[in-house]
Structure 1
Amino acid sequence: MPTKGLMQRFADKETVLVAEGYLFEFERRGYLKAGSFVPEVVIEFPNRVKDLHEEFVHAGSDVVQAFTYYGHREKMRLIGKEHLLERLNVDALKIAREVADATGTLMAGNICNTTLYDKSKPETIEQTEKIFKEQIEWAVQYGADFIIGETYLDFGEAELALNCMKKYGQGLPAVVNLAPPAIDSTCDGVPYDVACKKLEDLGADVVGLNCSRGPATMMPIMRKIRKTCSGPIAALPVTYRTTPEHPMMQSLIDPDTNLMAFPENLPAFACSRYQIRDFAKECKEIGVEMVGLCCGNASHYMREVAEIFGRKPPASKYSTDMSLHYMYGSKAHFSKHYTNDYKKMYQSKTE
């Protein structure tokens, strides 16, 4: 059966779940360099990319997002491999399309912050549009169902991305997500809810936030966006324990070293599964239509999100059931004194 399109799913009041976080997950697995964060793994280990797509769908993602994030011309130039630009993008799109077709999910093309945009320098605006144009055209050519533009620190770059999606995207739905830094507005001074409303009014099909902030510091902004925007909104935080004092992952400080935790020591701040469940519940409560996770995401987190939304993806077969545990389960057969002694010790420490 044909896969239902993105906009039809929204029209049918469905929530679309999106697994992101490929950069950090491949870095964690030893297939991507932190710092440059260029997805060379697409060319070097394509089967690993396919496997992770399948793994995220297995955990509940409705979308296979082509791994072209930071695979654009400026990033490829940075590592001296601009000649591989088209190959990387085409291969990533083909892999994602293959998995989406096999699993009955949607395939998203992806563009992102260019790292060179500067509204005061016309030449960077021209370069940025060139980067967007070629990636969008490849996404259209290789069968994307919609396009996600994301991680924009400046409203101006997000607006340019949207304009390019409308100009070169041949009518594909456009998702535009801002990356909220530590301040209360985009880097060019537009409050997030105002920026999202402007993007919505300019024709974005979905607007919202991704990356930078964890659930605790992203969701207060999402509540404002929900009140401001009438169309579908998106929330895709990083999976780290950000706080009002340290609102984004890049501002977290490792207490052992007093150094910036980003990127190598971020696992010390990883969200619990319970916090991811609470994030998904809050999204459900306020009516976020596109829900997912960005940097730090992993399959067990996506399963938690899926289950909060009433899904039973294949990974749910292996969801935790402590009633079966030999020590703590309802039919525990391990020596009772072990668990009783532990309980007494725990109670004495907490009293």
Structure 2
Amino acid sequence: MKRSLKRRLQEGTVIVGEGYLFELERRGYLQAGSFVPEVALANPDALKQTYRDFMNTGSDVVLAFTYNAHREKMRIIGKEELLEPLNRSAIRLAKEVAKEHPLEEALVAGNISNTNIFDPYDESSKSKVREMFAEMAQWSKEEDVDFINGETFYYHEEAEIALEEILKKDLPAVITLGLMGENILRDGYTVEESCKILSEKGALVVGMNCFRGPDTMQPYIAKIRKHVDGYVGALPIPYRTSDEHPTFFNLPDGGCSCHLPTETTFPTALDPLYHNRYELAEWAKEAKGIGVNYIGLCCGASPAMLRAVAEAVGKETINSPYSPNMEKHFLFGKDKTLKEHNVGYRFKA
């Protein structure tokens, strides 16, 4: 039988692959800038393969790619009539892939996210946000997801609205916050205050995702872990953010001599700023060590990075047989049948 999210959390660490937004842009199926997941309708096979790649490298969850598939984003690109078909298609494709797991069917999560129209001083904006979340949560309910992931909220109150609408559908809720450069949510809450409230109001998992790499997210995750009695999640981006540049929105690339068409390296010139998979694996061990239960990676992540994270916390993935093994490499291997003149040349190559 497929275990619920709660049971999996009770029995160990849950690995969650996110980052479809950047991954599908890299693969050529999504436009950077608008970042709307039209791929669910325009190229469903590409989306299924992306789901599959992250599941096979360790994700216990196939997260329906409906991030930014809300009414406001669809309005901006002039395709509001595709809103419901897009949401339903993304979930149905996720369910198809989840059933392919050879050991235990993966969980399927609906997904709602920051709307970018929430204004704490504008009650009409709050009503619009609630309506947007309510309809997406309803479609998730009707498509029979296992839980709903509400993510990347930089206002506490918007996260609360998301939680309320998810719980109205009698579904488990995972709520994660996106912390911008002020190191505080934009309506004045600290992330630990916000997560404590959200957990007490019924979220199964609370924590952080996106915007920050491991170095600038982990200190806040540690605070959340101390303040929250329930399950805690952490899904950083795989980029080398710093105290000076805590998010990927303004990360400089000092080595770039070319002219960038954008004001910063975000979102299409971040390539030189990646953490390698071994650094991400060390972060995952640290996160698990302080009691983080729901671990993953967000925008920028690749399946190989997620596999390293999963293996670092003790999980064998479907694709673990393809994890790096340099024993047979012609220069760096130690297999006794390798040619000595090649192995000896490794220091000169």
TM-score by length of 1: 0.94
Residue 301 of structure 1 aligns with an amino acid whose one-letter code is M
Is the Cα contact below 8 Å between 2:108 and 2:147 reproduced in 1?
yes
Is the Cα contact below 8 Å between 2:9 and 2:294 reproduced in 1?
no
Q: Can you list the C-alpha shifts for 1:110-146, whole angstroms capped at 9, x where unaligned?
A: 0000111111111111110111000000001001000
Instruction: Give the secondary structure class of the aligned counterpart of 2:99.
Output: helix
Q: Distance in 1 between matches of 2:343 and 2:243?
A: 39
Q: Distance in 2 between matches of 1:132 and 1:241?
A: 32
Q: Distance in 2 between matches of 1:220 and 1:227?
A: 11
Q: Distance in 1 between matches of 2:159 and 2:318?
A: 36
Q: How far off is 1:287 after superposition? A: 1.1
Q: Can you list the C-alpha shifts for 1:26-46, whole angstroms capped at 9, x where unaligned?
A: 111111001100001111000
Q: Distance in 1 between matches of 2:246 and 2:90?
A: 32
Instruction: Give the secondary structure class of the aligned counterpart of 1:139.
Output: helix
Q: Can you list the C-alpha shifts for 1:287-311, whole angstroms capped at 9, x where unaligned?
A: 1110000000111011101111221
The structure 2 residue matched to 1:315, chosen from 319, 325, 342, is 319
Corresponding position: 1:119 with 2:120? yes
Q: Can you list the C-alpha shifts for 1:198-220, whole angstroms capped at 9, x where unaligned?
A: 11111111100000000111011
Is the Cα contact below 8 Å between 1:17 and 1:292 reproduced in 2?
yes
Q: Distance in 1 between matches of 2:81 and 2:316?
A: 43
The structure 2 residue matched to 1:22, chosen from 13, 20, 23, is 20
Is the Cα contact below 8 Å between 2:332 and 2:346 reproduced in 1?
no
Count the aligned residue pairs: 340
Query: What does residue 216 of structure 2 align with?
Result: 217
Q: Distance in 1 between matches of 2:157 and 2:287?
A: 27
Instruction: Give the secondary structure class of the aligned counterpart of 1:162.
Output: helix
Q: Distance in 2 between matches of 1:328 and 1:98?
A: 41
Q: How far off is 1:8 after superposition? A: 1.4
Is the Cα contact below 8 Å between 1:97 and 1:143 reproduced in 2?
no
Q: How far off is 1:339 after superposition? A: 5.2
Give the structure with the higher percent helix.
1
Residue 269 of structure 2 aligns with an amino acid whose one-letter code is N
TM-score by length of 2: 0.94
Corresponding position: 1:3 with 2:7? no
Query: What does residue 252 of structure 1 align with?
Result: 251
Q: How far off is 1:178 after superposition? A: 0.4
Corresponding position: 1:277 with 2:281? yes
Instruction: Give the secondary structure class of the aligned counterpart of 1:149.
Output: strand
Q: How far off is 1:11 after superposition? A: 2.5
Query: What does residue 138 of structure 1 align with?
Result: 139
Q: How does 1:167-182 map to 2 (within 5 A)?
A: 167=168, 169=169, 171-182=170-181
Q: Distance in 2 between matches of 1:329 and 1:321?
A: 9
Residue 83 of structure 1 aligns with an amino acid whose one-letter code is E
The share of aligned pairs that are identical, in percent, is 43
Q: How does 1:262-341 map to 2 (within 5 A)?
A: 262-331=266-335, 333-336=338-341, 340=344
Residue 314 of structure 2 aligns with an amino acid whose one-letter code is G
Unaligned residue ranges in structure 1 (runs of 5+): 347-351
Residue 160 of structure 1 aligns with an amino acid whose one-letter code is I
Q: How far off is 1:331 after superposition? A: 2.6
Q: Distance in 2 between matches of 1:140 and 1:146?
A: 9
Corresponding position: 1:88 with 2:82? no
Is the Cα contact below 8 Å between 1:276 and 1:301 reproduced in 2?
yes
Query: What does residue 73 of structure 2 align with?
Result: 75
